[in-house]
Chains A and B, each alone.
Chain A
Amino acid sequence: MADEVTISGQTATAGDAYIAQIKKKRLMSFIILIVFLALLASGFTVADSRNAGGFWDGLGNIFDFPFAMFSEAIERAPLMPAYLVQYFPSLIETINIAAASTLIGALLGLAMSLLVTRGFAPVSWLVSPLRRILDILRAIPEIVIALVLIFMLGGGPVPAMIAITLHTVGAVGKLFSEVNENASMKPVEGLASVGANWTQRMWLGVIPQVAPNYLSYALLRFEINIRASAILGFVGAGGIGYDLRNTMSWGVGKYDEAAAIFILLFLTIVVVDQLSGMLRNRLTHGTAAPQVTS
């Protein structure tokens, strides 16, 4: 930015040094960029060579399947409303899995977040171990827990619900504790001075401050969990994902039903995203109703 500025005599050497430094920095950035692009390119080559079908061979076929599916759906378009009704209960199950696990996960995550926030935690030596537990819960992909639980509990929505709940506890616990860290300690101190116990201090001093942020994160989680719940259905945990796998493995002849499921899933995700986006905007950028101020 300073390269074009004219420099007076005395500071010429300093200016030269500055320009040299800038040039060196730009060269470094350039090298990093080149290395990064090379990594990306070679990564794609490696991925391509380890894939069952090659990229360039497959590229031509990429629309074959959607085309086959939707042409079958259009061919039997009159059946479409019936399919949408037929698979609607499965969709409700998928949404229920997501909603229940978000709700349970958020409640447990809320309790965990208060236990791992320094300054709020009632037992200070528990903070580190509980944080590690949250890290682990967050790191396990839902599918891992779901597959193991399906082996023990059989298929159905419960393994998926438990799997998503555990992951939600980890994610929400961390996010909520970050919110807690930004909460003002003054109400908590005020409550402490009148002899409130820990539960009262948290419930009356912290939760009202952070509740809008909590709700906003929980809604975001709900969006994520609907996607996760559909995916877990695909590996046998019930809901619309399970129906999708069944119709897909049936192949030609049931593609119209697969198309109906695709449409249901797509609409659900878009509608939930839009609704939760609107709600979150309202929560974080002021509410419609005037707030009671002291």
Chain B
Amino acid sequence: MTTAPLYAATTARFSRKKRITLAVPLIIFAYFTYIFVVFDVAGLSDRVNLNNARTLVSDAYSYKTHVAQSNRDGSIAVSVEGERKGAYPEGTAPDWVRLGDVVEVDLGQGHLITLGAQVSYDIPGYGLVTARPDGTGVNAVFPDGDLPDFINASKNRVMIATEAGRFTITRARAEVFKYSFGWELFFFTLESPYYGKGPFELASLAFKGEAGAIWQDFWTNKMWRHGDVFWALFETLLMAFLGTFGAAMVALPLAFLAARNFTPLGVLRFAARRVFDFLRGVDGLIWTIILSRAFGPGPLTGALAILLTDTGTFGKMFSEALENVDEKQIEGIASTGAKPLQRYRFGVFPQVVPVLLSQVLYYLESNTRSATIIGAMTGGGIGLLLTQAIATQKDWEEVSYYIVLIILLVMAMDTLSGWLRRKLIKGDEGRH
């Protein structure tokens, strides 16, 4: 063979490769342009709600305390997030609120608010705003000049938003919001005697025999509901565990039916494979909908949805693994006079069990994620708590807490399944 045709062929191939290297990025670029248009990415800037984004981010790491005065009877209520569960007991308040005939609220950085029949806000760099709300309106008096951007005033409502906090005056109420860093009531709510105590103090109290009471107050915390959250996490894990291993147990006998070397009968093989394809093709989404109609929301529905989908997946994977078994080992066992069941027990199982188990464990982690998603759709586990917290559109600190918990849970399952898989493989190598 002369080099000329080879040379020509190589040149042709090179030019073809060149065309491909140029065409692929162009096609990708064209597709992105198409996506940009059909998804209306350009119009996104109009739709994006920056206010929502800002509340979400600031709420995730801070909490706000409300100091509210009823202008009808002059009563004062102080509470975290304005919720009854976070209310300060009568006559108590955080140290930046001075209770008395005239209530003084010190927002820091020189921002001082007084509440009473006449309310006032001393804004540094601007001046004193006073108001005397009554049946006719809020009667606000501002320093001379145009109102700045951070004040929004009408006859019956004045809203002042500064970097130190927010102050709203209406005819009925005067309300101060102060933002502070952290998740204030995470450990104990205000009515608990352990609120505000440091870890050392709590430890010494626990040694004095109050450990049970401390744990009780933490576990039943009404704001953060640690007990409920724990149960929700457990339910999610339960769905993943039951779904994964249940599917493995259902799929194993079916996989023998679908494997060429174990089922000579083509009809059976075909039927088993179509069952797997159907279970996988219907997909978790549709299984979840159908099952939740029959069983209602809850962890069982989620577990069964995972079980059905994964039976299809495992069946396919297991039958492929079974088709790859080494026949020699089975023949060896058969030559000692072993009966069929013994051939499976000593010839097939030792070969495939580590492989299958490792595949199943791999799915345990991804099913923890699926269980969260299914829980969010049908209602169950941490997914339900998450959708509930998002639906309120204000408990973003809880949303971020749940997200952190979900990430930790999935990562823990990932680590656990990885560790078990490594142990399995190592045990397998040890036998050789």
Chain A interface residues toward B at CB < 8 A:
1, 4, 36, 39-40, 43-44, 46-48, 50-55, 58-59, 61-62, 64-66, 93, 96, 99-100, 103, 135-136, 138-144, 147-148, 151-154, 156-158, 161, 227, 230-231, 234-235, 241, 244, 248, 262, 265-266, 269-270, 273, 292
With contacts defined as CB atoms under 8 Å apart, how many contacts are there between chain A and chain B in the complex? 179
Cα(A178)–Cα(B289), bound, Å? 36
Cα(A248)–Cα(B292), bound, Å? 12
Can you spell out 24 A-B residue pairs with CB atoms less than 8 angstroms apart?
A44-B242, A44-B300, A44-B303, A47-B303, A50-B298, A51-B301, A52-B296, A53-B296, A61-B294, A65-B290, A100-B31, A100-B35, A140-B406, A143-B372, A148-B399, A151-B49, A151-B52, A152-B49, A153-B48, A156-B39, A158-B44, A235-B387, A269-B280, A292-B13
The winner among A147, A230, A244 for most chain B CB atoms within 10 A is A147
**What is the chain A residue whose CB lies nearest that of B285?**
A231
Contacts of B297 in A (CB 8 A): 51-52
**What is the chain B residue whose CB lies nearest that of A271?**
B281
Q: How far is the CB of A227 from chain B (nearest CB, A)?
A: 5
Contacts of B354 in A (CB 8 A): none
Residue from A39, A55, A156, A231 within 8 A of B40 (CB atoms): A156
Q: Are B411 and A135 in contact (CB under 8 A)?
A: yes
- Is B386 located at the chain interface by the 8 A CB criterion? yes
Taken residue by residue from 148 to 161, chain B's Cβ proximity to chain A (1 for < 8 Å, 0 otherwise) reads as: 00000000000000
Cα(A153)–Cα(B40), bound, Å? 12
**What is the chain B residue whose CB lies nearest that of A66?**
B290
Known: A47-B298, A157-B39. 15 other contacts (CB 8 A): A43-B238, A46-B238, A53-B295, A53-B296, A53-B298, A96-B35, A100-B32, A142-B373, A151-B390, A153-B44, A161-B39, A230-B283, A262-B286, A265-B285, A266-B286
Contacts of A135 in B (CB 8 A): 411, 414
Q: Are B293 and A141 in contact (CB under 8 A)?
A: no
B interface, size bucket: 35 or more
The winner among A47, A148, A156, A244 for most chain B CB atoms within 10 A is A47
Chain B interface residues toward A at CB < 8 A:
10, 13, 28, 31-32, 35, 38-41, 44, 47-49, 52-53, 56, 235, 238-239, 241-242, 245-246, 249, 277, 280-286, 289-291, 293-301, 303, 336, 346, 369-370, 372-373, 376-377, 379-380, 383, 386-387, 390, 393, 399, 403, 406-407, 410-411, 414
Cα(A54)–Cα(B295), bound, Å? 6
Q: Are A231 and B373 in contact (CB under 8 A)?
A: yes
Residues A158 and B41 in contact in the complex (CB < 8 Å), given A52-B296, A140-B403, A234-B285: yes
Cα(A65)–Cα(B242), bound, Å? 24
Cα(A36)–Cα(B31), bound, Å? 50
